[in-house]
Amino acid sequence: MVDSMRAGPAADRQSGLASRRQLPHSLRRLRRLLTALVVTATVLGTASCGSPAGVTAAPGPAGPAARAPGAEEPGSQAPGSGLPAPSAPAQLPDATSPRSVRAGPLGPDGAWSLAWRDEFSGRSVDLDRWRPNWLADTDTAVTKPINRAEQSCYDPANATVKNGTLRLKAERRPCRTHDGRSYDYTSALVESAHDYRFTYGFAEARIKLPPSDGTLAPAGSCGPNWGVFLLNGRQHPDDGEIDVMECLSDDDVSWHYHHGTDADPRGVGGYPPAWRGDMPGSGGWHTFAVDWQPGRLVFYYDGVPVGSTEAGVTDRPHYLIAALAVSGSAVAAPQTMQVDYIRVWKRTDLGRTEQPGTEQGRTEQGRTEQGRTEQGRTDLAAAPAD
């Protein structure tokens, strides 16, 4: 059966070639001429008439995102906000469709270069980019959680790559950490502390957060577990913590920035109205990003600015973290958070606002573990797990 199916098209192609060879030379020339005339007429008709009725021509991968009718030009100011005026979220392809890297991040204008990325196109977590646990000395260690409110360990086995996405899974499965601690749940995390740290730039991730019922519903939502994409400094909170996206409280998506000292921890954050409860749009995939400039942080959700701060903005190198943790009194398990890509961009038009940052590769072992100083969240302890 397979051999005959393969032979059929080949035989047809050979028969077609033989038929074309038997045509007189003058007829072949006439057919080529008629074909050229048809193609030319089609091109001229498209150029004069535009796109067919009801069809909007989409820009190429390097083109700008389409704006809704009446939307402000990029860079214009929303009244009283200090932020560019929001535009309609860009329509993003499903993670399973063919992808190409854009000429810049989703949202801000300007000229950019891609400094670092992981498209998760392999068969497993790239251990040259990530360590799939919480700041351990090896890639295989099962580690304790980030803070005392979490009820799960981080097991590298729960961080997998499949069909072009990173899968971070939380499940009800007892686990024991490399230092002898036991937990009722197992979850997943990847961090780049040992492999990549940077100062300033645009950090962007495309993520599908699991809704609170534990499925991967098309609409998208989050909770009650703690899904997060963040940038973190070595010393906490002195070096800063930039929470680009975290799922908190009643299925709300929020951004936060933490800084200060252990004696005087400080923080600021926001809950964009459109991101409370169910997420906007009809698809479960969304992009979450931060534009980290000297003295300023601007947070973008689906290419739209949702918040900013200039308070105590750090200039210390940060590493990347993506995680799904079982945290707080409410639990949903099993649950999976998917990540399509994580990218870090650098501006090339440095005369605008930013100054060049720094990148660092694999660093020394034994770094200080962070505590969290989240303000206004009752189910998250301020101190790290002992």
- ω into 224 cis (within 30 of 0): yes
**pLDDT tens across 127-139, in order?**
999 999 999 999 9
| Res. 320 pLDDT band, cuts 50 70 90 | very high
Residue with tokens 């495309």: 206
Among 14-23, 62-71, 114-123, 366-375, the range of highest mean pLDDT = 114-123
pLDDT of residue 380: 29
pLDDT of residue 377: 32
* 324 pLDDT above the threshold of 60: yes
Three-state SS at 25:
helix
Question: What share of the chain has pLDDT > 90, as a percent?
Answer: 50
* Residue 158 to residue 192: CA distance in whole angstroms: 17
pLDDT of residue 37: 45
* Residue 28 to residue 36: CA distance in whole angstroms: 12
pLDDT of residue 248: 76
- Determine how β-strand 359-360 pairs with β-strand 201-208: unpaired
pLDDT of residue 289: 98
| Res. 363 pLDDT band, cuts 50 70 90 | very low
* Residue 273 to residue 212: CA distance in whole angstroms: 18
* 205 pLDDT above the threshold of 90: yes
Please give the single-letter amino acid code of residue 56. T
**pLDDT tens across 86-126, in order?**
434 444 444 444 356 778 999 999 999 999 999 999 999 99
Tell me the whole-structure pTM to 2 decimals: 0.68
* 303 pLDDT above the threshold of 60: yes
Residue ranges of domains in the chain, CATH in brackets: 112-360 (2.60.120.200)
